[in-house]
Structures are given as C-alpha cells and as structure tokens.
Structure 1
C-alpha cells in the first residue's frame, strides 16, 4: 500500500498571511510514493532470513562444538587407552627384561655348573683310568702271588707226604702237639716239658704259612724277636720244618731258665 505525502498544519503556518486563501506551494508539488510498506515487508523478510541464518549458525556452532567436545572426549579416551596400553607394554617390557636378565644369570650359572661338572668328569675319568691301571697291576700281582701260593702249597703238600713220619717223630721227641690257631693259614705248636720246675707248663707259637717264607706271629712266653728272626732265616733257607721246631723249643727252654 502506497502513502501520499500531505503537508501538515505546521507547514501552512509558515506561509504568509496573504496566501491563506490561495493554493499552497506544497499543494502544487507532485505526490511522492516512498514505498515504506514494501520496504518494511522486505526488511521483515530480511530480518526473518537473518534470524533464521543466525539460528542455523548458532545450531551449527552448537553442533560443531558438541561434535568437537565429543571428538575431544574420544581423543582423550583414546589417549587414556593409549597411555594405559603404553603402561602395560612398559610393564611387560620390564617383566621381559627381568626375565631375560634372570635367564641370562641362570644360563651363566648353568654354564659354570656344566664347566665344573665337565672338569669333575675329566678328573674322574683320569682317576678311573689310573684306578684301572692300578687294578690291572694289582690283579697281576695278585695272580702272581696266587700262582706262587699254589706252587708253594703244592710243594708243601708234596713235602708233607714225605715229612709225616718225620713230623710224628718230632712231635713225640719234642713233647709237642699241633693245633689250629683259629685263623686261616696259621698253625699253633704247643710244647710241654720245657720248664724243669713244672713239666706241665706249656709254651707255644703260631706259624704263618700264607706266604712263601715262614713267619712266627705270636708266642708265649715272649721271646726276643731277633732270636726268632735268626731261627726263621735258617728255616727259610733250608726249607726244613725240623729246624724251626728244634730252634723254637731251644728258645723256650732258654726263656724258662731265665
């Protein structure tokens, strides 16, 4: 709707009094339509559009801010999870390093133990070889001694068959008897009538026959070892048992007199 410019009453007041009855200057001017209604309508529409734009912008800003906050929250959560993962990985790394250090220490200990065991094995192998050699040498010595003992036993057995009558003779004439000494390879020879004051008093000695040479182990009464050794030397040289029996009786008689 267009509006027509109309002069106000104040305008007419300023005209000269003589012009009151005729047409005014304003009446002679053409009417001008400024289009205020259209302008108002356009301004209203612009305002509505501007308000809508502002509202959309505000909503978009709010949405973007909310989205930004969500993104920041997600990033913070991701950062927290990453930090937690890093801590877990660091803990696993520390545990792995400790395990590796422990295994390295155990490996060194095992290597030291293996080296020690290897050294002990070598020493034991050397000792075993030495013992084998010693056993072989000892076995040879034993075999040689056994062979010598068997030969000596055979000789003694052969000689005993010839000495039985002679032994009976000396048992009778020397007032002697032969007993077991309770030990293998030993004989006990017991004499009587060696003490002039007491013919029942006995004297005895034990003879060892376990080796090639004869040896007197024990005797009662005790005799000087040097004298016994002299008798044994004569016996081992002559290999005659009668020399031993006569010599030991003489030593006992001498000991009884002293």
Structure 2
C-alpha cells in the first residue's frame, strides 16, 4: 500500500469518526447499546507526522533519483570517454600498423639496396683483381720490353763505338775517296746518313747518286736510293754489311752497284 493510499484512508477514517460522534451526541443512546470505551486519538499529529514522513520520503526519492541520474550521467560519460579512448587507441593501432608497413617496406628497400651494394662491391672487387692481374702482366711486359730495349741500346752503343773506330781507321781512305772518287757523307736526319757518289756517269761526272741509311737499329738499313737499284742487289749489299760490319767494303759495293746499273 502506497503512502498516498494510506493518507487517503486516514482522512476517510477521520471524517467518519467525526460524523459518528456527532450522531451519538444528537440522539439519546439506546438502552440496548452497550457502553464502549472512549479513545482519544490525535489525528492532526498523525497527519503532521505523515506529511513530514511524506516530505522526507519524497526528498529521499528525489535524492535517489538525482543520484541515479548523476550516476547514469557519470556512467554515460565514462562510456563516452571509454569509447573515445577506444577510438583513439584504434586510430593509434591503425597508425602504428601503417608505420609498421612503411618500416617493413623501408627495411625491404634497404635490404635490396644493401644486396645491390654488396653485389656492386663484389663486382668492383672482381674488376680490381682483374686489373691487378692485367697490371702485373703489363708491368712484366714493360720490364721485358725495357730489357730488350736496354740490350738493343747496348748493342747500338757498341756498334756506334765500332763504327766510330772504323771511321777513324777509314778516315784517310775516305778522304781519298772524297777527293778522287767523288764520295760525300752527310747527316740526313736523326740516326740517318746520306752517302752521295759522283764521278760515276761518264756522260755527266757531276751527277749525284746517293743512298740514305738508317742507323737507329743495330742492323743497318737503306731507306732511300736514288737512282733506284734493284731490291735484291740492295738487300744483298746490306746483308753483307750487317754480317761483316765492314763499312769500307759497303761503300765499294754500293758504288759498283750504281755504276753497273747503267742509270
């Protein structure tokens, strides 16, 4: 039973009691009616207590509703905060997942670059080894060539010394040839001599016949001849000169070849 129903019953009881009292006072009591005990009940005080109780109860209910509302609002706020935190955590998780994917791609790219770099280093190392082998081979070839050159230079120095010695021995004979046989030797170019003959052609004693000799190698070589003699004749004369190193005989042979040619 609610407080409002109890209060309504008390009000009805109070009104009925008042009506019964007034009826009994206005009419004489019946002789058959027994004598009932009289109660003194303070309904006003009861009503005041009930009103005070109602006020306290209403205040309790209102306070309870207020606390429930506050708790519900706090709970909803906590739920909202939790949802926001969850959303933030979800966003952070997605962000870190993207970062993880980027880092994975970056790591894969760096790994590929590292492999390419290692491959390039290996290739450069191989090329370096090849170049070292080639350099050693070239150095060995240079040394061998230098040895050959040094040997030839030594032989050439010896030949020059022999030639100078022979020239000093042939100087009187050469002077005789230059005066009586029309022979002249000139420096033509570096390591080259021009040997000029006259008094060969009976029709023109002043006509010049000459050969140009190359002295840059240990073996002599005729590189020019005017008038041109047959190649076999020239090769035979030069071969005998390189074998004998007799320059005086060479001059006689080349003059005889010009005279025999009839040119």
Secondary structure of 1:181's partner? strand
Unaligned runs of 5+ in 1: 12-19
**In the alignment, what sits opposite 1:231?**
237
1:158 aligned onto 2:165:
yes
1:137 aligned onto 2:144:
yes
Q: How does 1:167-246 map to 2 (within 5 A)?
A: 167-182=174-189, 184-246=190-252
1:70 aligned to which of 66, 77, 101: 77
Equivalent residues of 1:186, 1:208 under 8 A apart: yes
1:86 aligned onto 2:93:
yes
TM-score, scaled relative to structure 1 = 0.81
What is the aligned residue count?
Answer: 248
Equivalent residues of 1:175, 1:192 under 8 A apart: yes
CA-based RMSD of the aligned residues comes to 3.0
Deviation at 1:35, TM superposition (A): 5.9
Secondary structure of 1:180's partner? strand
Equivalent residues of 1:191, 1:204 under 8 A apart: yes
Name the CA distance, whole Å, in 1 between partners of 2:168 and 2:29. 207
Deviation at 1:115, TM superposition (A): 0.3
Secondary structure of 1:223's partner? coil
Equivalent residues of 1:221, 1:255 under 8 A apart: no
Tell which deviates more after alignment, 65-74 or 43-52.
43-52
Q: How does 1:51-62 map to 2 (within 5 A)?
A: 51-62=58-69
Deviation at 1:205, TM superposition (A): 1.4
**In the alignment, what sits opposite 1:49?**
56
Equivalent residues of 1:5, 1:31 under 8 A apart: no
Name the CA distance, whole Å, in 2 between partners of 1:173 and 1:24. 216
Tell which deviates more after alignment, 28-37 or 48-57.
28-37
